[in-house]
Structure 1
Amino acid sequence: MVTGHRTVAEDVVAVHLAEPSGGPLPSWQPGARLLLTLPSGRQRHYSLCGDPADRHRYRIAVRRAADGGGGSVELHDEVAVGSRLSAARPRNGFAFCAEPAVLLLAGGIGITPLLPMARQARSLGLDWRLVHTGRTAAALPFTEELRALDPARVEIRTDDRDGVPDAAELLARAPRGAAVYCCGPAPMLAAVQRAFDASPARALHFERFGAAPVSGGHPFTVRLGAGGPELAVPADRSALDVARELRPDLPYSCKQGFCGTCRVRVLDGTPEHRDRRLTPAERAGGALLPCVSRAAEGETLVLDL
């Protein structure tokens, strides 16, 4: 149940969730995501950004994406205190390993998984730094909460005041041998990955809030049902995105191949699996996650849609 819903930055709301009975919630660790089913039936993943020690309240923060799939707009405009949402147990694909020295790099709403990491790094006495970047100060959530952790270790950078940050410059803040945790928009992640080898850090962990660019893709075709329409999938787009142009009701959530929301069955054709969710037995049985999985050039996949 929603127990709190307030604006924490420009186009960002923080939503507090609790068990309606008042009982304890499942435990979680920094980096965990919560899969919510919204009143419309849409399913979306959101990083938990509250305190893992608080077993009676979860907190998420959501930036409105007017051109997205509708989940963020629904949470902003249609969900309120008292709304009832269903949620799966938290899952963690971005675990904080608590290395002795860490640099946390956040872009915009990417601060959500990193805030609990900073809190844990402080409690463990690690050598940590956090840099939060964004367009303007008004667009960045939780600034005062971050600075309260340790103003000497937290840096807030905004494009309008400091210029667009250079990835190599950000990585230079890492103590030698540190682990870097990065979450933000795709261009930021790509820039950090390119600059990482020349940095003093030794390990890079990252999480995206959107689909990664297609790498090594080839054009192929999907047919929606045995006698359905055939759709051309270009080398740089996913089968899910192409299919949703004709069937906007098709469900999805992460678009990264780990949640399984978009799962379909292959009736014919040989897929190229790229997900991180399906077991070998599920793949052999015809399961496919079209958000990331593809086929060889010229292949046609017939999907049970």
Structure 2
Amino acid sequence: MIELELVVAAREPVAAGVIQLTLRHPVGDPLPGWEPGAHIDLVLRPDLVRQYSLCGDPADRSSWSVTVQREPDGRGGSRLAHDELTPGTVVRVRGPRNHFGLANAARYLFIAGGIGITPIKPMLAAADVAGADWRLLYGGRTRATMAFGGELQRRYGDRVQLCPQDEAGLLDLDSWLGTPAIDTLVYCCGPEPLLDAVQERCRTWPPEVLHLERFAPVAADSAGGSDNGFEIELALTGQTLAVPPDRSILQVVEEAGIPALSSCREGTCGTCETGVLDGVPEHRDSLLGGDADDVMLICVSRSRTPRLVLEL
């Protein structure tokens, strides 16, 4: 995992309650490359780490850009970012990581809600350069709260449909998703009600078509899994640890003094992704598919077998 100390080079408002931060290396070194859909961790404090999608130009290695929406009722990360990340501030950053990559397709339907536009924005540019046929449906509470809305309309014209709720009501998902389209991928990021609505309307589409990025964990389905204890073997040391029903793998590993990166601790960011060398994990996260038996997120996922061998 790449970890850097970067400087806030610029800060500007991009919508009501939303700022864009530009991050650069202190001595101007080029930053690691990334692709649309990637995000980074901002280590705001040792015990406060938050994930933000990169929304700039992947070809520009001189800086990274993220947008932060102030959440008055949130857990404190956005308030700290708004109040303390000013030009000249040094912030520790991890990443980038990408669990929302843009696959090749002839056509795309992009659907964004609120700050969910941030990972979608560089996807539009990539799809445009590739010559793909695409459209964006972008909803928000009001036009003033919709970051990049005017910019995207000016750049892409009628391929971008802005739908402020106070002007147009809820997004017309039925007209966009009512009939499965050939050779088309659907990418959606936004609040949970929007994701649930899109997922419901895509049930008649081929399963590989829909790509979602969530801000919050989905409800875990533990059917066939283990809420009982199990064992893990750490392949790098040969150590065996017991994971009781009321503890996560991550907690047990940390209590044993084994270094393990983590961030969200709720299965949404991917920081704690760990290789599985033997045994069958039970995925309770919001990122990995049920068939991904060679990796798992140890902050929430458990085991379908009495023992797991992990690449730790």
Confirm or deny a common fold (TM above 0.5): yes
1:65 aligns with 2:71: yes
Among candidates 262, 267, 270, match of residue 259 of structure 1: 270
Instruction: Write the distance in 2 (CA, Å) between the matches of 1:282 and 1:30.
Output: 23
Return closer, same or farther for 1:71/1:262 CA change in 2, 3 Å cut-off.
Answer: farther
Write the distance in 1 (CA, Å) between the matches of 2:283 and 2:201: 29
The residue correspondences of 1:1-305 to structure 2 (distance < 5 A) are 1-39=7-45, 41-172=47-178, 175-198=181-204, 203-216=209-222, 252-253=263-264, 255-256=266-267, 258-260=269-271, 274-275=284-285, 288-289=298-299, 292-293=300-301
Q: CA deviation at 1:258?
A: 4.8
Report the CA distance shift for 1:9/1:239 in structure 2 as closer, same or farther (over 3 A).
farther
Query: 1:214-240: per-residue Cα shift (whole Å, max 9, x none)?
Result: 34579x799xxxxxxxx999xxxx999
Separation in 2 of the partners of 1:127 and 1:18? 34
Instruction: Write the deviation string for residues 83-134 of structure 1: whole angstroms up to 9, x where unpaired.
Output: 1011123111000013110111001100000000001111111101111111
Number of equivalenced pairs = 262
The letter for the 1-side match of 2:264 is S
Structure 2 letter corresponding to 1:148? R
Q: Unpaired runs of 5+ in structure 1?
A: 223-230, 241-250, 264-270, 297-305
Instruction: State the AA in 2 paired with 1:197.
Output: R
Q: Secondary structure at the match of 1:109?
A: helix
Taking structure 2 as the reference length, the TM-score comes to: 0.72
In structure 1, distance between residues paired with 2:193 and 2:74: 18
Q: Structure 1 residue 171: deviation in Å? A: 2.0
1:133 corresponds to which letter in structure 2?
Answer: G
- CA displacement at 1:147 relative to structure 2: 1.3
* Partner Cα distance (2:47, 2:8) in 1: 16
CA contact (8 A) 1:64 1:72 kept: yes
The residue type paired with residue 253 of structure 1 is C
Q: Secondary structure at the match of 2:97?
A: coil
One-letter amino acid of the counterpart of residue 153, structure 1: R
Residue in structure 2 matched with residue 248 of structure 1 by the alignment: none
* Partner-residue secondary structure (3-state), 1:103: strand
Partner Cα separation in structure 2 for residue 78 and residue 113 of structure 1: 24
Instruction: Give the distance between the partners of 1:288 and 1:25, measured in 2 at CA.
Output: 28
| 8 Å CA contact 1:5, 1:81 repeated in 2 | yes
**DSSP 3-state at the match of 1:117:** helix
Between the aligned partners of 2:14 and 2:179, the Cα distance in structure 1 is: 28
- Structure 1 residue 197 displacement after superposition: 3.2
Two-structure CA RMSD over aligned residues (Å) = 3.5
Gaps of 5+ in 2: 1-6, 230-244, 251-261, 275-280, 305-312
1:105–1:132 contact (8 Å) kept in structure 2: yes
Question: Offset of 1:170 from its aligned partner?
Answer: 3.2
Secondary structure of the structure 2 residue equivalent to 1:151: helix
Instruction: Provide the residue aligned with 1:266 in structure 2.
Output: none
Taking the aligned partners of 1:280 and 1:167, their CA distance within structure 2 comes to 34
Which structure shows the bigger proportion of residues in strand conformation?
2
Q: 2: distance between equivalents of 1:103 and 1:19? A: 35
Alpha-carbon distance in 1 for matches of 2:67, 2:197: 25
